[in-house]
Amino acid sequence: MAVIGCGNIGHVHIDRWKSISGAELLVCVDVEMERARQLSEKYHIPNFYGSLDPVLRDDSVDVLDVCTPTYTHKEIVETALEYGKNVIVEKPIALKLKDAESMINKARSAGRKLMVAHVLRFWAEYIMARSLIMNGEIGMPVFAKASRLIAHNFSVWKDWHNDPKKGGGVFIDTSIHDLDFFTWTFGNAEEIFAQGGTLVRKAESHDHTRAFVSFKNKLGAYVEGSWIMPEGYPFSYNLEVIGTRGLIRIGSDSPKQIDMFLTGGSVKRQKIVLETKDPYLLELNAFKECVKEDKPVPVSGEDGRKALELAIAGVISVLRRRPVKLPLEEDFPDVYGFLT
């Protein structure tokens, strides 16, 4: 294993890799080599570098875990695939659909694994909620809503989140978690209407977006992503799905728990308490097993592209101030001001 990018999420992944049986973390890489050195010492990683080249030439490295800023994904991932490495890349897969498609094609032609790290697919509450929905416990889903709210004082390397050409803004970077869950659960979206913009932060990228998404069977969903919460506001997430026979709710205010309200029957409310495991650990271990046993990955490049397409459609809807139909016939705008 080699982890590329030793920032916030890279640190999380390194910590998990060190506890996964059958995976040996040999290398960590960061353009600021001092960060790589510090994590190498902390986690007893044999090698650290300031560039990717030594890792590519190292035949003992089977897997690259790419935890770098979004705008760097395509080049790193495709280069790694060309050198015969298997790759797991942080969400979103890329900023542009054409880049995601290129990465997918490169993995296919190289005969290597490509997985996108959409971690909600390994989050116990979301897994159980989806299972209950798919099994018809609340009847036919008719409406869903999800939110992901963060205080605006967080920081990333060189503030790359502030530049829409590097991070895409809150809907692509943060709400893509919920968009992926919805497409995983409900299938392809048909239309999205979004509003928002840069409301608080001194940046070009959007810091708040709210969107209505239309799926087939008249299912509607509301998605809200925000980076504008005041200092001291805790990171929060919520999910509610309403069906013809009940409702499922999960949220950060009651972790490891699902509330289910049912119509009819003697029990109107059920509280399901879950035994949970670290979702990042489960995610990385799943990828390791897929490489080891040559199995299909649980979150494919195509899955990552699907979530990205819906997120890009949301950004375009904000800019054009009208609904946008899917599948898209255009790609992510080079700059937010591409429309007058």
What CATH number did the domain enclosing 65 receive?
A: 3.40.50.720
Say if residue 162 is in the same domain as residue 311.
yes
- Is residue 167 located within the same domain as residue 82? no
- HSE-up (13 A, CA, CB side) for residue 279: 12
* 330 shares its domain with 207: yes
Residue-level pLDDT at 83: 98
> Do 331 and 216 share a domain, yes or no?
yes
Confidence at residue 339, expressed as pLDDT on a 0 to 100 scale: 46
* Same domain (yes/no): 168, 153: yes
pLDDT at 337: 60
pLDDT at 340: 36
Supply the angle between the helices 301-320 and 176-186 in degrees, to the nearest 10.
120
Token pair, residue 322, equals 């009208």
Same domain, 182 and 126: yes
Q: Report residue 74: phi and psi, to 5°.
A: -60, -50
The domain spanning residue 242 has which CATH number?
3.30.360.10
**Which regions in the chain score pLDDT beneath 50?**
339-340
Domain residues for 193?
A: 121-278+307-338
| pLDDT value of residue 252 | 96
H helix or E strand, kind and range, residue 102: helix 97-110
Domain shared by 292 and 334, yes or no = no
What's the CA dihedral at 136, 137, 138, 143 to 10 degrees? Answer: -50
* C-alpha span between 251 and 178 (Å, rounded): 12
Q: What pTM value is reported for the model?
A: 0.96
Maximum separation of any 2 CA atoms in the chain, in Å = 64
| CB distance 221 to 212 below 8 Å | yes
pLDDT at 264: 80
Residue 217: CB atoms within 10 Å: 9
107 and 143 within one domain: no
Structural domains of the chain, count: 2
Q: Do 128 and 84 share a structural domain?
A: no
Alpha-carbon span 329 to 340, nearest angstrom: 20
**Residue 32: C-alpha distances to residues 66, 157, 272 (Å):** 15, 10, 45
Q: Are residues 125 and 40 in the same domain?
A: no
The SS3 of residue 49 is strand
Same domain, residue pair 247 and 130: yes
AA identity, residue 76: I
pLDDT at 333: 81
CA 193-312-126 angle, 5° bins? 80
Place of tokens 């429309």: 339
Residues 215 and 267 in one domain: yes
